[in-house]
A = this chain, B = another copy of it.
Amino acid sequence: MTVERMPASLGGATSHGHLLELIRSADGLSRQQLLSTTGMSRATLYERLDTLTRRGYIYEAEPLGSTGGRPSRKIRFQDRGRVVLALTLGQTHGTVSITDTTGRQLRSETFALEISAPADSVLLPLVEEGRKLLEQGSDETLLGIGVSLPAPVEAGTGHVKHQTTIPGWSPDSVVRAVKATWDLPLVIENDARAAALGERASDAETVVYVKVGTGIGCGIVVEGSILRGAHGSAGDIGHIRMSADGPLCRCGRHGCLAAYSSGRALRDRLGHLGLTKIDDISAAAGTGDPEVLQALSDAADVLGRALAATVTTLNPDRLVLGGQIGGLPDFVEKVSSRVLTDVVERIAEGMVVEAGHPEDLAACHGLTTLVMRKIFAPDAVDQLFADEAESAAG
């Protein structure tokens, strides 16, 4: 006799990992609902739920309203007291955050730092602060750690690629600094990419996140996954060439987007006003200084022209701007209008151009998403259960 099965896509959630995934995605399902959505037998499902409960993956939450008989109880993903530590490093500041499993910040501290300093001198204070922040919580369990950097990161290993922004750091400096304190799942990602992931609303969306701070970074998320390209340089839009004879860029070429629109370029242009820091510029923009506003407008216009090409190539649902410069309302407004006029209507329509969440929050959220994915990926969970069963038997 053959059993009626659900289409594999929806409910063939037979394994522990997929069942957990189902519970984690739906916020609270009753046993009854799980039985019908998965199509599993009572005995099997209960065994699975039992195991997942015993191992602390799920718990039984409040009852749902009764429909006449005994009320069912929600089964929930065990997120109570589970936290992720996110270290988001920028060029000049770093934030240490404790987040819940959905990426919401619970506690955080921001510090000044100099990213070009030796790796350990930058990282160890942050790690130490992480330890302190963790101690402030009661009954919290740390699940994993995420670190974002304003530099290219190798996809699989999390190694820092040798590059101008972080000259002295060895590839595995972050891994070592963190692993020395916590032997837990660790994810390292470029800051713009982490923020892009943190800004995405649904898994179906294509999001382009552009960070304009000291430099220009960009993260592209297509259907929930980060676009990396052949050598991990996808989204390196700061070096789109806007003209053959433009200003000199740090990369040695002329006319790069970053030489027009980055915070560094603005600082150079506005240096004579005594604005020596990027934050000075955003502050001056707030006061309405006309020269500053004009400079921002020019920068935004060039960026908008470049992004028009990027947007035309990718047809995203959303274009999100962030960073100290990128997030300024006037800047967003100007970029938006330029992009929307330069992009053909078919692509522009329905696309949202907007300022992102405060940068740390976005990156923090993205990092938590990555950490959670790494730990609770169905296959990873199944593997873990299989390994434990094996070692118990062997």
| Residues in chain A within 8 A of chain B (CB atoms) | 1-2, 4-5, 7-9, 205-206, 218, 220, 222, 227-237, 239-241, 251, 253, 256, 305-306, 308-310, 312-317, 342-344, 346-347, 349-351, 379, 382-383, 386, 389-390, 393-394
Question: In the complex the two chains form, is A379's CB within 8 Å of B313's CB?
Answer: no
- Tell me how far the C-beta of A377 lies from the nearest C-beta in chain B, rounded to whole angstroms: 11
Pick from B236, B309, B315: contact of A233, CB below 8 A.
Answer: B315
* Most chain B beta carbons < 10 A, residue from A8, A344, A393: A344
> Which of chain B's residues have a CB closer than 8 A to the CB of A239?
312, 343-344, 347
* Most chain B beta carbons < 10 A, residue from A8, A220, A315: A315
Q: How far is the CA of A383 from the CA of B10 in the complex (A)?
A: 13
Query: What are 13 A-B pairs with beta-carbon distances under 8 A?
Result: A2-B390, A230-B350, A231-B346, A233-B347, A235-B313, A236-B312, A237-B309, A237-B312, A237-B313, A239-B347, A306-B309, A309-B310, A313-B314
- Tell me how far the C-beta of A205 lies from the nearest C-beta in chain B, rounded to whole angstroms: 7
Question: In the complex the two chains form, is B347's CB within 8 Å of A312's CB?
Answer: no
Chain B: CB-nearest residue to A9: B379
- Tell me how far the C-beta of A378 lies from the nearest C-beta in chain B, rounded to whole angstroms: 10
Pick from B206, B229, B233: contact of A229, CB below 8 A.
Answer: B206
Chain B: CB-nearest residue to A347: B233
> Which of chain B's residues have a CB closer than 8 A to the CB of A205?
230
Question: In the complex the two chains form, is A347's CB within 8 Å of B236's CB?
Answer: yes
> Which of chain B's residues have a CB closer than 8 A to the CB of A229?
206, 314-316, 347
State whether A314 and B227 are in contact (beta carbons under 8 Å apart), knowing that A308-B240, A308-B241, A394-B2 are contacts in the complex.
yes
Question: In the complex the two chains form, is B394's CB within 8 Å of A344's CB?
Answer: no
Question: In the complex the two chains form, is A315's CB within 8 Å of B390's CB?
Answer: no
Pick from B2, B237, B342: contact of A393, CB below 8 A.
Answer: B2
Chain B: CB-nearest residue to A312: B240
* Most chain B beta carbons < 10 A, residue from A2, A228, A230: A230
> Which of chain B's residues have a CB closer than 8 A to the CB of A344?
236, 239, 251, 253, 256
18 further interface pairs, Cβ-Cβ under 8 Å (given A233-B347, A251-B344): A1-B393, A2-B389, A2-B393, A2-B394, A4-B390, A5-B386, A9-B379, A222-B227, A229-B316, A230-B351, A234-B314, A237-B312, A237-B313, A240-B309, A240-B313, A241-B305, A309-B309, A313-B313
Chain B: CB-nearest residue to A305: B241
